[in-house]
Amino acid sequence: MAERITAEWRRPLVAVLAALALLCALLVWRPWDGSGGDDRSGSGTVPDGPPGAAALRGVDWSTVRAVPEEAFTRTGDYVPATPEAADGDQPAYYADDCHLEREDTGIKACTYGDEDATVEVAVVGSSKAGVWVPVLDEIGRREGWRVSVFTKSSCAYDPPVATDSYPECATYNTALEERLLADPPDIVVTSGQDTDARQLEAAALSAAWLRLLEAGTEHVVAVWEVPTPSRHVAGCLAELPRQGSGDYVEACSYEHEDGPGADILGEAVAQTDGAELLDVKDWVCPDSTLSPRCPPVIGAVVVLGDGAHLTDTYARTLTDPVHQELSDLGIATSQPTDP
């Protein structure tokens, strides 16, 4: 009869097995340079690439591993490999000319996910919302959702709030609301802002969401706003040697500073029946011995690129955690498969 593993030995054994699992994950990937075979349209993971957020996975996609520090990359290769590559690592819908610039006010919609589906998900807001388009593209294919994208530079969705410094945003949001109310999408996904001239207001957000819900939208999903870094993370990494003495976590971690709309989103959700907060903080800046600082590289993928935006490479590795949370919220009907 095999000896019973005692409590004294169980914890070290679990730690060793977890470390071996992460080591295997990092050994099997080949460096990814963005060329050949990657459709950049939201595959959910990087083909033949590093695990990114998957390195944080606990017992399932609902939980982060007990010791998240084991997923923090400290030395060695990572992707995107240069500051320029990280800053330019954006969702494919930019190349599809679907993201409106500041001066644009006309409504333009691009469709992803299951383009023939009857269930529609509308992504509205600024580039903070647009970060999640590749993730929703893949989830849409799994769930049978048509994903329509309506995003505009530095223009959070909060009609009819206006400002003299950015009238194009108010004009656009008013027109977009008219379109959405005329043909309400089943699900609306939005996030915070990255504007320098406007502040979200919880009451205005809640009122705008309620108008959508009363018109027939079933769910409004506000996604946790990515923290604003205290430094240019990719630039810091570039100054360190890839091998030897350079420790990415020690040298290039950054303070977790909530974006300008983080608290407001939570307040608006609390005020709105039918609205949900999708909180992915633990997959971007998990509670750890590093807290309140955040790791620059997780699972060999640089987390932040241009400003307070996730790199597209890292965002796509969040597909399964986001899908799981949407399922837990009762919005998605299926769950991601185990790796």
CATH of the domain at 285: 3.40.50
Dist CA 41 CA 53 (whole Å): 18
Reduce the DSSP state of residue 29 to 3 states and report it.
coil
As a whole number, mean pLDDT of residues 37-46 equals 34
The verdict on residue 101 lying in a domain is yes
How many domains does one find in the chain? 1
- pTM of the entire predicted model: 0.83
For residue 120, what is the DSSP state?
A: E
As a whole number of angstroms, the distance between CA 82 and CA 239 comes to 10
Written as six digits, the tokens of 328 are 């837990």
Task: Note the pLDDT tens digit of each residue in 74-103.
Answer: 999 999 999 999 999 999 999 999 999 999
DSSP E strands in 173-242: the ranges are: 187-190, 219-223
Residue ranges making up the domain that contains 118: 49-328
- How far is CA 327 from its chain centroid? 16
Average pLDDT of 152-161?
87
pLDDT tens per residue, range 17-33:
334 443 443 333 333 33
44, part of any domain: no
Q: Residue 195 pLDDT more than 80?
A: no
**Residue 171, helix vs strand vs coil:** helix
Q: How far is CA 304 from CA 91, 109, 177, in A?
A: 13, 26, 31
- What is the chain's Cα-based Rg? 20
Q: 119 lies in a domain?
A: yes
Distances (CA, A) of 312 to 88, 180, 240: 9, 27, 23
Q: Length of the chain in residues, anyone?
A: 339
CA dihedral defined by 80, 82, 84, 87, rounded to 10 degrees?
40
Task: Please report whether residue 296 resides in a domain.
Answer: yes
For the stretch 54-69, pLDDT in tens is 999 999 999 999 999 9
Domain contains 289 = yes
